[in-house]
Amino acid sequence: MFTKFGAISVGVNDQDKALDFYINTLGFEKIIDTPMSETERWLEVALPGTQTHLILGLRGQSVPDRTGMTGFILYTDDIEATYKELKSRGVTITHELSNEPWGKWLQFADLDGNEFGVFAPPAR
């Protein structure tokens, strides 16, 4: 019936600023950028080579008006390097890098207060 999660929405206040952050700070690629209405665009970004995209929709229009933990978790093979890179690019770290029984973890926020987890599984 279903084949994959195609896109997940994240609420932003300014689509141009959000696009710049996701592309130039986090390393995402722009997938789709097309008008939806007079005030909003259908704007999708994705990590290179991945199937699931983020839709950067305007808060209160195509997505709910809320901030905080999105529940979205990005996986990494080298969380220490990822942590250093995020900090060097000025990304707001909301939960410092920590070692947990279930793996290594950190959280960061985008320009609009949407928080994402970053996870590295424990060494086996």
What distance lies between CA 91 and its chain's CA centroid?
12
User: Would you state the pLDDT for residue 74?
Assistant: 94
Given a cut of 80, is residue 124 above it in pLDDT? no
CA atoms within 13 A on the CB side of 65: 3
- Global pTM reads 0.88
What distance in Å separates the CA atoms of residue 110 and residue 68, rounded to the nearest whole number? 10
Q: Tokens in use for 89?
A: 């690019």
What distance in Å separates the CA atoms of residue 124 and residue 121, rounded to the nearest whole number? 9
Question: Which domains are present in the chain?
Answer: 7-58 (3.10.180.10), 68-120 (3.30.720.110)
What are 69-120's pLDDT values in tens digits? 998 999 999 999 999 999 999 999 999 999 998 999 999 999 999 999 999 9
Q: Tokens in use for 37?
A: 């209405």
What are 16-55's pLDDT values in tens digits? 999 999 999 999 999 999 999 899 999 999 999 999 999 9
